[in-house]
Amino acid sequence: MAHQSSFRIESVLKALQINSKNQGTSTGNIWFETAETIDSVSPVDGKIIASVTMTNEKNYEKVVATASEAFKLWRTKPAPFRGEIVRQFGEKLRENKDNLGKLVSYEMGKSLQEGWGEVQEMIDICDFAVGLSRQLHGLTMHSERPNHRMYEQYHPLGIVGIISAFNFPVAVWSWNTALAWICGDVCIWKPSEKTPLCGIACQKLIAEVLAENQLPEGISCLVTGDYRIGELLTKDTRIPLISATGSTAMGKKVAQNVAVRLGKSLLELGGNNAIIVTPDADIKMTVVGSVFGAVGTCGQRCTSTRRLIIHESIYGQVVDALVKAYRQLRIGNPLDTNNHVGPLIDKQAVAQYQNALQKVAAEGGKLLVPGGVLEGEGYESGCYVKPAIAEANPDYEIVQKETFAPILYLLKYTGSLQNAIDIQNRVVQGLSSSIMTNNLREAELFLSQTGSDCGIANVNIGTSGAEIGGAFGGEKETGGGRESGSDAWKVYMRRQTNTINYSTELPLAQGIKFEL
Which tops the pLDDT comparison, 511 or 71? 71
Tens of pLDDT along 159-173? 999 999 999 999 999
What pLDDT sits at residue 6? Answer: 62
For residues 27 and 10, give the distance between their C-alpha atoms in angstroms, rounded to a whole number: 25
For the chain, give the number of residues. 516
Mean pLDDT of 307-325: 98
Average pLDDT over residues 203-229: 96
Q: Could you give the angle at which helices 79-95 and 112-132 cross, rounded to 10 degrees?
A: 160
What local confidence, expressed as pLDDT, does residue 307 receive?
A: 98
User: What sign has the CA pseudo-torsion 45, 51, 55, 56?
Assistant: positive
Stated pTM of the model = 0.96
The DSSP output letter for 97 is H
Chain segment 348-364, per-residue pLDDT in tens: 999 999 999 999 999 99
Mind listing the pLDDT tens digit for each residue in 121-130? 999 999 999 9
Coil, strand, or helix at residue 150? strand
Q: With contact defined as beta carbons under 8 Å apart, do 459 and 123 qualify?
A: no
Q: What percent of the chain has pLDDT over 90?
A: 94
pLDDT over 90 (residue 417): yes
- For residue 118, the SS3 value is helix
* Banded model confidence at residue 466, pLDDT cuts 50, 70, 90: confident
Q: How many Cβ atoms from other residues are within 10 Å of residue 217's Cβ?
A: 19
| Residues involved in catalysis | 268, 302
User: Which pLDDT band, with edges at 50, 70 and 90, does 516 fall under?
Assistant: confident
Q: Could you tell me if 435 and 278 are in contact, meaning their C-beta atoms sit under 8 angstroms apart?
A: yes
Instruction: Name 212's Cβ contacts closer than 8 Å, sequence gap at least 6.
Output: 88
Confidence band for 1, pLDDT divided at 50, 70 and 90: very low
pLDDT, position 2: 39
Region 378-388: mean pLDDT is: 98
pLDDT tens, residue by residue, 20-70: 777 889 998 899 988 899 999 999 999 999 999 999 999 999 999 999 999
Contact status, residue 290 vs residue 397, Cβ threshold 8 Å: no
Mean pLDDT, residues 142-159 taken together: 96
Predicted local confidence at residue 386, as pLDDT = 98
The values of phi and psi at residue 400, to 5°, are: -75, -15
Phi, psi of 220 (to 5 degrees): -130, 120
Express each pLDDT in 4-21 by its tens digit.
446 899 999 999 999 877
Crossing angle of helices 196-212 and 171-182, in 10° steps, is 30
Chain mean pLDDT for the chain: 96
> What CA–CA distances, in Å, run from 94 to 100, 116, 197, 432?
10, 10, 19, 29
